[in-house]
Amino acid sequence: MAYDSNNVFAKILRGEIPSVKIYEDDKTLAFMDIMPSIDGHCLVIPKEAAEGILDLSPDGAAALIKTTQKVARAVKTAFNAPGIMLLQLNGEAAGQTVPHIHFHILPRQAGLDLKLHGKPMENPDKLRGFADKIKAALD
């Protein structure tokens, strides 16, 4: 399937849709999920146009995991989380809802309920507060 350059993440990368950014470099972008499963839920995407892991170049995959690891460390610190959940879904059948490869990073505490993509949109000011906590914890 051809990459859809009108997907929401492609629009975020082009600046057509706002996002609460956490981290950005020349190959990746990390930002808060606007419909978080849990406080601190954020996303990391490559700037390369790729629908899933099998479409991403080796260099793009390396950059994506490097940023995911960096942001996951910051999320763990910022939310004093004993665990971090990483999710990466490929294809609609796997539950992928945006056809641009991305990692979900979720701080986890024992006993917390988790529903993916199940909550309503979060208040942008609250997301900015979470983003500021994570940015402060970046190396």
Known active-site residue 102? yes
Judged on CB neighbours under 10 Å (0-12, 13-18, 19+), 137 is: middle
Marked catalytic residue, from 41, 102, 104, 117: 102
Residue with tokens 């419909």: 35
Catalytic positions are 102
